[in-house]
Amino acid sequence: MADAKNKTTLDSLKKHRKRLTDRPMRQLFAENPDRFRSFSANCGDIILDYSKNRIDTEAMAALIDLARHAGVEARRDAMWAGEPINVTEGRSVLHMALRYGGEEPVLVDGQDVMPGIREVLERIKTFSDQVRDGSIKGHTGEQFTDIVNIGIGGSDLGPAMVTLALEPYTRADLRAHYVSNVDGASMHDTLKRLDPKRTMFIVASKTFTTDETMTNANSARQWLAEALGDEAVNDHFAAVSTNLEACDAFGIRADRVFGFWDWVGGRYSVWSAIGLPVAIAVGYENFAMFLKGAATMDNHFRTTPLEKNLPVIMAVLGVWYRNEWGFATHAVLPYDQRLSRFPAYLQQQDMESNGKSVTLEGKQVETETGPIIWGEPGTNGQHAFYQLIHQGTSVIPCDFLIAAQPQESMPPHHDKLVANCFAQSEALMLGKTKDEVVAELKEAGMDKADIKALAPHKVFPGNRPSNTLLYRKLDPATLGQLIALYEHKVFVQGVIWNINSFDQWGVELGKQLAKALLPNVQGATNGAEHDSSTQGLLAYYHQMKG
Ligand code: F6P
């Protein structure tokens, strides 16, 4: 946590936790019929119901104080002012500028970044319009029907998740595919259904050095050149990167290269030209609405008092559970099949940002930091892992996400989806006591001995926390809002933990070692320089591969 000035707040949080340990939510709801009104807030059409948490007014006030004392407002303003808050890389953090859309200048090192942003957006618009209307064609004069985005991490998860979420806005005759893994299976299985004459590749990489992406890009180029000849490659490739020289060296023509800037972190880049495949898939107007939705949430985050500020509320609740109650994981459970990749997207968003153990000053942190984020859409998860959420020994705070309006008229599907979503948070909160179980079994006519044996298995402890995010419809603007909401939540938590949420040094060691191991894997050497486990695995690998 930030420093000693938080000490009083932290001590008070401990007291609140002790007090609330003996007051389950069931009791808190019974005592306060207005609980929903007291503990819900909104940003436009998104309502956050956070009443099913282990809080009361005093605890919530202490949590908001924690955010205030940690300097969340000052740091948020420093981010927007273009200060280099990513201290270990000496960079500003200005993904909010990408979707700002306003008239005021946004400065980095005294330079307004807005003209550059507008120029790239204009190019995305022109290019995506032309691919969609067929005026940009493949080498043989055929219209493009398939766009393959080659990228990984932030250059894949964002656009892939968004394209899936906005499926109702896509066209059946223009499909976006995403290849990220260096596992050749991914590229192979994607290409086997595609016609090179009608396929465009977008190589998306902030650095344009990421090994997986470059390996996949080279394989795609080879596939295309084998089918259509080397001279066709130029007409079938585009690139998105901050490394324009590397795009040129790869052979991608300048008018097909879309730039962005080092103040856009990879996991915040879906708002930049990394969103190009989204703009092609759903059309520029929808992409613009997506940006606008995020800007609505940015404005909410920047101007709403902390007590009513959605990202702040979600952030402090997360800190409450992680640090005071010791809950290690957090589940994101969209009751929205099209958000099936949202948990995976948030894994990078949250875990790459806040999976840190040193403070901004380089000292070991004294509390736990980022939680493990995981999840799957409901209702599928209900028939798989919810058992553990309801009756397991670990308490897992959950976020439920649900739209009021479905995209398709298929009664009674959506009513059932909503009923299930609301039922889960109610069940988690209420639980079922032993008395209730016994009464139910008696009612069903079971004899005393059987009741005695079965009852303990049917008890639900309850008091299990959740948030529900209810939104009107999963349209582009709402999706933009939701993503920005989580981005800011993660930001606030990083400020409270006093860590740098914008670097990712933890991914480097594995990359270095993979590079060092490749010659051992490719040759038949035993890799004597490695540990005995790695040597043993290499030896078996060479023996098995034959
Ligand atoms: O290795 C992690 C990472 O750097 C992520 O932060 C990033 O989103 C991803 O790799 C891809 O990087 P790039 O866009 O430079 O290829």
**CATH value at residue 338:** 3.40.50.10490
More confident residue, 4 or 480: 480
Averaged over 310-326, what is the pLDDT?
A: 98
Question: Would you state the structure tokens that stand for residue 396, as one six-digit string?
Answer: 């897992």
128 and 261 housed in the same domain? yes
- In this prediction, residue 313 has a pLDDT band, given cuts at 50, 70 and 90, of very high
234 and 337 housed in the same domain? no
267 and 369 housed in the same domain? no
Q: Report if residue 350 sits inside a domain.
A: yes
Q: What pLDDT score does 3 carry?
A: 56
221 and 278 housed in the same domain? yes
Q: What pLDDT score does 10 carry?
A: 77
337 and 205 housed in the same domain? no
Q: Report if residue 279 sits inside a domain.
A: yes
313 and 186 housed in the same domain? no
Is the sign of the CA dihedral 202, 373, 503, 216 positive or negative? negative
Averaged over 160-168, what is the pLDDT?
A: 98
319 and 353 housed in the same domain? yes
244 and 347 housed in the same domain? no
Averaged over 8-36, what is the pLDDT?
A: 94
Q: Report if residue 50 sits inside a domain.
A: yes
497 and 523 housed in the same domain? no
* Separation between Cα atoms, residue 348 and residue 65, nearest integer Å: 28
Q: Report if residue 296 sits inside a domain.
A: no
Question: Does 349 contact ligand 1 (Cβ within 6 A)?
Answer: no
Of the candidates 89, 130, 495, the one whose C-alpha atom is nearest the C-alpha of residue 261 is: 89
- Distance from the alpha carbon of residue 243 to the mean position of ligand 1, in angstroms: 13
pLDDT in tens, 194-209: 999 999 999 999 999 9
Instruction: Note the maximum CA span of the chain.
Output: 82
Question: Does 152 contact ligand 1 (Cβ within 6 A)?
Answer: yes
216 and 134 housed in the same domain? yes
* Separation between Cα atoms, residue 235 and residue 243, nearest integer Å: 20
* Separation between Cα atoms, residue 346 and residue 344, nearest integer Å: 5
Total number of domains in the chain: 3
Q: What pLDDT score does 8 carry?
A: 75
* Separation between Cα atoms, residue 60 and residue 38, nearest integer Å: 10
Question: Does 520 contact ligand 1 (Cβ within 6 A)?
Answer: no
User: Which are the contacts of 363, defined by CB distance < 8 A and separation ≥ 6?
Assistant: none
Averaged over 456-485, what is the pLDDT?
A: 98
Q: Residue 429 in contact with residue 468, Cβ under 8 Å?
A: no
Q: Residue 266 in contact with residue 206, Cβ under 8 Å?
A: yes
**CATH value at residue 527:** 1.10.1390
Averaged over 225-233, what is the pLDDT?
A: 97
- Distance from the alpha carbon of residue 174 to the mean position of ligand 1, in angstroms: 27
Statement: residue 474 has pLDDT above 80? yes
Active site residues: 352, 383, 511
- In this prediction, residue 526 has a pLDDT band, given cuts at 50, 70 and 90, of confident
- In this prediction, residue 128 has a pLDDT band, given cuts at 50, 70 and 90, of very high
Statement: residue 29 has pLDDT above 90? yes
- Ligand 1 atom closest to the Cα of residue 204 is 14
pLDDT in tens, 354-409: 999 999 999 999 999 999 999 999 999 999 999 999 999 999 999 999 999 999 99
State CA 277 to chain mean position distance: 18
Domain coverage including residue 513: 508-545
Q: What is the mean pLDDT of the chain?
A: 97
* Separation between Cα atoms, residue 496 and residue 5, nearest integer Å: 12
| DSSP string of 66-126, one letter each residue | HHHHHTHHHHHHHHHTT---BTTTTB---HHHHTT-SSS--EETTEE-HHHHHHHHHHHHH
Question: Does 267 contact ligand 1 (Cβ within 6 A)?
Answer: yes
Averaged over 43-61, what is the pLDDT?
A: 97
Q: Report if residue 161 sits inside a domain.
A: yes
Q: Residue 464 in contact with residue 431, Cβ under 8 Å?
A: yes
Averaged over 225-242, what is the pLDDT?
A: 97
247 and 317 housed in the same domain? no
Averaged over 252-265, what is the pLDDT?
A: 96
Q: Report if residue 386 sits inside a domain.
A: yes
* Separation between Cα atoms, residue 106 and residue 120, nearest integer Å: 16
118 and 228 housed in the same domain? yes
- In this prediction, residue 11 has a pLDDT band, given cuts at 50, 70 and 90, of confident
- Ligand 1 atom closest to the Cα of residue 508 is 1
Averaged over 255-259, what is the pLDDT?
A: 97
Question: Does 322 contact ligand 1 (Cβ within 6 A)?
Answer: no
- Ligand 1 atom closest to the Cα of residue 511 is 1
First to last CA, the chain: 54
Q: What pLDDT score does 329 carry?
A: 98
pLDDT in tens, 403-460: 999 999 999 999 999 999 999 999 999 999 999 999 999 999 999 999 999 999 999 9
Q: Report if residue 78 sits inside a domain.
A: no
Q: Report if residue 445 sits inside a domain.
A: no
Of the candidates 290, 263, 271, the one whose C-alpha atom is nearest the C-alpha of residue 94 is: 263
Q: How would you classify residue 374: left for phi > 0, otherwise alpha for psi between -120 and 50, otherwise beta?
A: beta
Question: Would you state the structure tokens that stand for residue 193, as one six-digit string?
Answer: 């259904």
Report the relative pairing of strands 466-471 and 46-49 from DSSP bridges: antiparallel
Q: What pLDDT score does 462 carry?
A: 98
Q: How would you classify residue 71: left for phi > 0, otherwise alpha for psi between -120 and 50, otherwise beta?
A: left
